Amino acid sequence: MKLGMIDYGRGNLRSVINACRSLGYDPGLITKPEEFAEFTHLIFPGQGAFGDCMDSLRRLDLVESLREWISSGKPYFGICVGYQLLFDASEESPGTAGLGLVHGTVKRFTSKEVKVPHMGWNALDLKMPDSPFWKGFDNKPYFYFVHSYYPTGVDPKVISATCEYGQEKFCAVIEKGNLLATQFHPEKSQHAGLDLLENFLNQ
């Protein structure tokens, strides 16, 4: 197993790298299309606006290689924006197409009863508790969130966990085969986050 990490100049790389190193893995950085071939597992750490991140991927010519990696079923872990970019589009960046690998649109929280961004610890409701990604977890694990947008119109067959924030219930995790993507930040979620990363890396 060799772990690669997308470096598009905006992600929260250092925290994710440190989390992986604490588990005994030292990820290599991917900044060019040809570098994908060096790795067996891929993490896309997220931070930044939807449109800016897609622009950076295009500038580095990483879009098609990333699509090919995910479409072929290779292990992929998308975090926050690395999760949102899998979808068709986002209200955050009108006119900017996402990777379009999972159908859905990323929308902003609209409830006036909650603060935006959604920031802090929140429980998940696992929809696929028997998945190997959730090995060792109970049905209501807590993770750390920092976000203002979340995907809607997601196929229930790929929803691995949901989360409630105020009156809104949203898709917080998707999985399909070797693909795992989360709205929360595992690298900021202490032991729960490390356990989830380790389950992914053991796939």
CB-CB contact of 145 with 123 (8 Å): no
Which entry of 53, 171, 185, 198 is annotated as an active-site residue?
Answer: 185
Please calculate the CA angle 29-73-146 and round it to the nearest 5 degrees: 55
Catalytic-residue membership of 175: no
Distance CA 81, CA 44 (A): 8
Query: DSSP letter string over 172-194?
Result: EEEEETTEEEESS-GGGSHHHHH
Catalytic-residue membership of 187: yes
Residue 138, φ and ψ in degrees, nearest 5: -85, -175
Specify the pairing of strand 3-6 against strand 41-44. Answer: parallel
Count, residues in the chain: 203
Which entry of 20, 80, 163, 171 is annotated as an active-site residue?
Answer: 80
What count of other Cβ atoms lies within 10 Å of the Cβ of residue 169? 12
Sign for the CA dihedral angle at 48, 97, 200, 17 comes to negative
Catalytic-residue membership of 80: yes
Which entry of 53, 171, 175, 187 is annotated as an active-site residue?
Answer: 187
The side-by-side arrangement of strands in the sheet containing 28-30 is 28-30, 3-6, 41-44, 76-79, 179-182, 168-176, 159-165, 118-126, 142-147
Catalytic residues: 80, 185, 187
